[in-house]
Amino acid sequence: MKNKITVENQEISIIKEDYISLTDMVRNIENGLVLIEKWLRNKNTIEFIGIWEEIYNSNFNSPEFEGIKNEAGLNRFSLSVKMWINKTNAIGIMAKAGRYGGTYAHKDIAFEFASWISPKFKLYLIKEFQRLKNDEIEKLKLGWDIKRTLVKMNYHIHTDAIKKNLIPPNVAINKIQFIYATEADLLNVALFGLTAKQWKEVHPKEEGNMRDYATAEQLVVLANLENLNAQLIKQQIAFETRLTTLNGVAIEQLQLLLKYSVKKLDKLK
């Protein structure tokens, strides 16, 4: 799973266990990748990441670390991320290949690297990272995963109504797919105001779809809309009328749920 935050107009990737991309941090800096190795060769850096490993990594090769630390600062000294990992069994920094390739570091180490780049950049990085963590906590509090699953389960009710009432017999497969997509977008427009294609055009770099980025309240409403639209389809209500009805219900329910959420958060505070 990968998340992204934006710091000073720079998009930075974060993968599981809170590892932040150092590569993304320097992507817009001339010879930025060289800065990572330059930082890694710094004696203060080696001391810091070595202490971090000794605290959090039971398999860390401390004798090898001492040898590297003693050589740091000499003209002949060089050290890459892969060398550091291979020699010390380090886990705080990793070099990834493939789709999400680049150099990643645990947030403790990534913040230290950010400070080396710019204290201002570090402060904004911490701020955005904390915002991401707060969003994740709120999603867990509100049972986001459960609600996302509920939407997926209700989708079968929705598609069954489409299959039995909107798809003519002997219709071409591509036409069937178009009907399902159109009905899915009916719900998207009613709730989010965008079709799936329009959302992707606005967020070209995001993975998944708009429902993966919905709030818990939106997911509750979406599950309700799926059930309601299934009933309207069975009643042979016209497409345009269903869109108007669903949009009105979405607005009403969202207002009620958001009002409830605010009151709940006030009580928690």
The domain segmentation of the chain, as residue ranges, is 2-134, 142-268
C-alpha–C-alpha distance, residues 113 and 65, integer Å = 19
pLDDT band at 179 (very low <50, low <70, confident <90, very high): very high
Regarding pTM above 0.85, the answer is: no
Phi, psi of 13 (to 5 degrees): -90, 145
pLDDT band at 268 (very low <50, low <70, confident <90, very high): very low
C-alpha–C-alpha distance, residues 15 and 20, integer Å = 7
- Give the per-residue pLDDT at 5: 86
C-alpha–C-alpha distance, residues 103 and 95, integer Å = 5
- Give the per-residue pLDDT at 134: 79
Amino acid at residue number 195: T
Mean pLDDT of the region 206-225? 84
| Beta carbons of 161 and 229 less than 8 angstroms apart | yes
What's the Cα-to-Cα distance from 254 to each of 110, 152, 155, 224, rounded to whole Å?
A: 38, 19, 20, 11
C-alpha–C-alpha distance, residues 12 and 102, integer Å = 11
Bridge-partner residues for 6, per DSSP? 11
pLDDT band at 267 (very low <50, low <70, confident <90, very high): very low
pLDDT by residue (tens digit) across 2-19? 688 888 888 899 887 789
C-alpha–C-alpha distance, residues 116 and 123, integer Å = 12
